[in-house]
Chains A and B, each alone.
Chain A
């Protein structure tokens, strides 16, 4: 993390945060093929939907928002399991736990990196997928906003759950099972907002709920994640 720092003092908190962030982004860049796998997955699934349901425009337009939202969230799940595994295997995770900087801060950097690497490309691709499925253009901004909040929430909460399973085997299936109950309200409110906008009904309330949840999660999730890591690694 701070291998190039040649002073005797440990980096301050901001530097440590930046260090973790920079490292994660650099590692993702070096394996950018893998990093784009979730995007490919989303494109494939969204494209297959019309083949499964028929090209009738009215039907597709009605489900477009929900399909794109779900596809993006599931695609994020693909990358979630491996979030801490690499660091666990080479011992970097233990170093993070032992670092003088607050663990909550370091995992925040990890959460941000995860969102930037996984969610951001998906958010860039999502409007295109929604358009292909016939989402009315007027609804696109609401979809984007709902997905912004939903993916951020998933990044924060999903990381906490991943931390709990970091040292267990077969964790992918278990992680998905653990994630479902947390995903239900997120999906309901995000898709509800899009659906409401599509029908010309007020959509601000569910979006406000998501935003409020996000504000809470930004504060609590890093702390919860740090606790989860300590429990899972028994330190």
Chain B
């Protein structure tokens, strides 16, 4: 336990985190790509077509993992943001701020793929059902955090302000979801529809689980890459950065 705690504290130091992230990133990328290949082969080739939706249901293998990641990343971001606001360690700020664009990317994917899935299944590209609407609001929350972060000249101050906003957003998110669900039940004519295939068999399910894990590794890998770049920029006056710049090639 002591060694773990020591390692955890060392991670709070930018140069150590830089080295650690650089070390694990190839592994994270390799696993992400491998799992994606396996998952998509299972989803696109092996899984049988759905009884009702035919082959259209295969969008599930990108839509659902993206939607889950949009929420998962928000959770990680909110926790980092909380730590950043209370205890102010630089690494928490970096992890929170660099998670936001990745989360926004997944939210965008969830919205677009959800829209493309809606057309053959419900007949329309957009509908104000609870989940799509909540995803849309989530996108706005992400954009607000990213926008606020970049509106400050001092990145550390911007990170703290944006982290505060992220925490407010985290509290707001379940409220929004609940209110949108209620709003849907209020107005007859928009019943809450279920998105998935009519009958899930195991051969349909396991590729979904694989893709869920694959996207998590993607997030980890991308977060490591983004954080490394952010650290180089934030710590530019320091010796360790000069050392890195001197020794590393552009695509190191």
Q: Which chain A residues have a beta carbon within 8 Å of chain B's beta carbons?
A: 160-161, 164-165, 167-171, 174, 177-178, 180-182, 184-185, 188-189, 192, 195-196, 206, 224, 227-228, 231-232, 234
Verify B161–A231 contact, CB threshold 8 A: yes
Picked from B152, B161, B176, B186, the residue with its CB within 8 Å of the CB of A181 is B176
Query: 23 A-B residue contacts at CB 8 Å?
Result: A164-B164, A164-B165, A165-B148, A168-B152, A171-B151, A174-B144, A174-B148, A177-B140, A177-B144, A181-B141, A181-B172, A181-B173, A184-B137, A185-B172, A185-B176, A185-B178, A188-B179, A188-B180, A192-B186, A195-B186, A224-B168, A227-B164, A234-B154
Verify A164–B148 contact, CB threshold 8 A: yes
**Does B183 count as interface, using CB distance less than 8 angstroms?**
yes
Q: Which chain B residues have a beta carbon within 8 Å of chain A's beta carbons?
A: 85, 137-138, 140-141, 143-144, 147-148, 151-152, 154, 157, 160-161, 164-165, 168-169, 172-173, 175-176, 178-180, 182-183, 186
Complex alpha-carbon distance, A192 and B147, angstroms:
31
* Min distance, Cβ B73 to any Cβ of chain A, angstroms: 16
Interface centre among A161, A180, A228, A231 (most CB of B within 10 A): A231
* Min distance, Cβ B88 to any Cβ of chain A, angstroms: 10
Give chain B residues whose Cβ lies under 8 Å from the Cβ of A227: 164
* Min distance, Cβ A167 to any Cβ of chain B, angstroms: 8
Verify B161–A180 contact, CB threshold 8 A: no
Secondary structure call for the A interface: helix
* Min distance, Cβ A166 to any Cβ of chain B, angstroms: 10
Verify B182–A188 contact, CB threshold 8 A: yes
* Min distance, Cβ A93 to any Cβ of chain B, angstroms: 15
Complex alpha-carbon distance, A63 and B138, angstroms:
27
Q: Which residue of A lies closest to B183 (CB)?
A: A188
Verify B183–A192 contact, CB threshold 8 A: yes
Give chain A residues whose Cβ lies under 8 Å from the Cβ of B175: 185
**Known interface pairs A168-B151, A174-B148, A195-B186. Does A184 touch B161 (Cβ–Cβ under 8 Å)?**
no
Give chain B residues whose Cβ lies under 8 Å from the Cβ of A171: 151
Give chain A residues whose Cβ lies under 8 Å from the Cβ of B160: 231
Q: Which residue of B lies closest to A201 (CB)?
A: B186
* Supplied contacts A174-B151, A195-B186, 19 more A-B pairs, CB within 8 Å: A161-B165, A165-B148, A168-B148, A171-B151, A174-B147, A177-B147, A181-B137, A181-B144, A181-B169, A184-B179, A184-B180, A185-B178, A188-B183, A189-B179, A192-B182, A192-B183, A206-B182, A231-B161, A234-B154
Verify B164–A228 contact, CB threshold 8 A: yes
Complex alpha-carbon distance, A231 and B157, angstroms:
7
Verify A165–B144 contact, CB threshold 8 A: no
* Min distance, Cβ A189 to any Cβ of chain B, angstroms: 6
* Min distance, Cβ A94 to any Cβ of chain B, angstroms: 15
Complex alpha-carbon distance, A227 and B161, angstroms:
10
Interface centre among B141, B151, B180 (most CB of A within 10 A): B151
Query: Closest 6 A-B residue pairs measured CB to CB?
Result: A185-B179, A168-B151, A178-B144, A188-B179, A188-B183, A181-B141
Complex alpha-carbon distance, A196 and B137, angstroms:
24
Verify B169–A165 contact, CB threshold 8 A: no
Complex alpha-carbon distance, A206 and B182, angstroms:
10
Give chain B residues whose Cβ lies under 8 Å from the Cβ of A185: 172, 175-176, 178-179
Q: Which residue of A lies closest to B187 (CB)?
A: A195
* Min distance, Cβ A121 to any Cβ of chain B, angstroms: 28
